[in-house]
A and B are shown apart, each in its own frame.
Chain A
Amino acid sequence: MSDDLDLNSLSDEDLVAQMHDDLYDGLKEEIEAAVHVLLGRKWTPYDILTQALVEGMRIVGVDFRDGILFVPEVLLSANAMKAGMAILRPLLAETGAPKVGKMIIGTVKGDIHDIGKNLVCMMMEGAGFEVINLGINNPVENFLKAIEEHQPDIIGMSALLTTTMPYMKVVIDTLKEKGIRNDYVVLVGGAPLNEAFANAIGADAYCRDAAVAVETAKALLARRQGSVQQRATA
């Protein structure tokens, strides 16, 4: 049941508002069309990303956190976001626009549970992050290899079992030994964790759910970039 809404007839402001609604409703093709309209109006890819897509997904995240939206709906929204991102990504690279951030994430060695971690991937991608999903049962070598290959901003680790969660400390200790721990934000999550555990193993934060993971990632990266700028101008 499509209506006959002509995106070209909308003002920039109304079009962006429409994109927020379309993202909310998980309408992939409509988001793709709107991204092309904005590009045609000479919007920069960065402005489309931040004002239309990331802001739209921020709204989705708020209503997910507040229990208004259901998980399957957020999946659709994230898919629509990714479709818009697929158009913008090469253009963003060409223009050298600032990036939201890049994350590698995996379930640690011994643990094969990944549905929760995959929800985090979905929400992070929905928020505009580039996510490298390492899958399940990752020894520290996999994390090191991915760090070297992808140069992420964030390292995410997940575990469902009390028997596998100590392995997160093995990964962090290895990063420390190599002198690279402070080059990255380390986020951990999973049902048996809590904040005290995250502090004890030397992670930057415990993220209790996917929506919080996004908020935490944004907040920690902003602080980090702020402090880098501060150092640069000091």
Chain B
Amino acid sequence: MAFDVVIVGAGPSGLSAACRLMQQANDAGQELTVCVVEKGSEVGAHILSGAVFEPRALAELFPDWEERGAPLTTPATRDEVYLLKDAEKALRLPNALVPKSMHNTGGDLTSGDSRRYVISAGNLCRWLAEQAEGLGVEIFPGFAAQEAIVEDGVVKGILIGDMGVGADGQPKDGHMPGMELRAKYTLFAEGARGHIGKRLIQEYDLAAGRDPQHYGIGLKELWDVPAEQHEPGLVLHGSGWPLDKSTHGGWFLYHAENHQVVVGLIMDLSYQNPWLSPFDEFQRMKHHPVLAKHLSGGKRVAYGARAITKGGLNCLPKMTFPGGLLIGCDAGTLNFAKIKGLHTAMKSGLVAAEAVFEAINNRDARAKGDEGGQELTAFTEKWEASWAYAELKESASFGPAIHKYGTVGGGAYNVVNQLLGGKLPNVHDTSADHAQLKPAGEFEKIDYPKPDGKLSFDKLSSVFLSNTNHEEDQPCHLRLTDAELPIRDNLPEYAEPAQRYCPAGVYEVVEDDAGQPQFQINFQNCVHCKTCDIKEPAQNITWVAPEGGGGPNYPNM
């Protein structure tokens, strides 16, 4: 099948691009076919974010978003930022010591489109998808893009994976062969560490001259809390305990609508200690009194995890290549200084839509029956002139400074740098996250406390709440380049860290009959966070798309 534009991923950037493309086509009275494929079973099923949302890009796309019923119902009302000293003590930071980019209330953030909202990114995407369909976009959830079609160095579309292939690779009853979706231009909006985006970055050497990309893993839960301890719009951030000094990250806790609180931990994947388990750090973190008081008496209703592309401008690859663009977190447009990525991802989608429409709709292209496939250099100009790019530029050193000087030192650098309007020298972090792990023997094994079943939980009952599922009888979508490596190299060297960095219990080391260790992959548990693809020290795990519709089914995440 052929379209003018194919978009991979129904997230904030992909859907924003789709809407903007159609708006332009409708305004110009031109026919335009735009197709969005989404591997989740429905739009929003795989979306996970904090989120405190800055509606700037949304307002550009739909100035009347409020009348259209966008799910922005809970304005941020109060900021609290903490440094946790240990399992009991905490220091509340006065506003002046908090980098300004992290403020969500007060000052000029109280009205209009600069107001911040506590939202569910999944629900924002569900709403964006409705708007897109209303504008004439074709959205296909449950269809996973397997790879890009590249001909003569030009991206010509994507290949949708087969459905109904057995674990043995043979077609089953009801098998549906994959198909080609061809397009003049293809936008890759897969989110952090998209599996096609990763290959495009390699094939077109898009990261040349950039710092290696940096990632975090975000774990999140949704809680129902008693009405009397619910304060809609309250926004808490913090760092420190339980992460050690060489491990960077921070937590968030937001009071959303409907007596719900979201809580999460973002841990940088540049950590060194292979005994660390982001999942267990998150679980024990919730016992700190600063967080526990918001959660106690409540009931956990959802759990999920997702990697975050957080390297910022220093790591942002070239976003163009012949026939397409990388947008949103697939490229890495998140502004870590604000702990926000939705608005910049959406903006990248809007800019992409404008560049693409211009290329398709200009008179020359129409006259020639143009097939597309150009490299959209106009995108780069527009993008670099955008407010989103300016934001990223201003905060380019934010993350690297924390990596280099630690949470407190880096934080201080950032406060000062922001006061000086970004005049301090740029800081770089040039080591890739996967290369940071040190041998397990250099650390003591961490004994995490047992979950209490009230505030903290075990991994499998958590995965249960992600509603994840994969058809059992299909090839494993977590590919090992060297099947022996986990037991041969990783087990002695790093005590096979996959067991711990995976937030869904996909990887296990079990004993076989003879008492020999075996590496087991429970791919059905996978929540599509991509952490393994990022953190595996030898880059031995490649995440590919499973059969469409598989993976988590997040409600309200």
Do they bind each other?
no
B residues with a Cβ closer than 8 A to A are none
A residues with a Cβ closer than 8 A to B are none
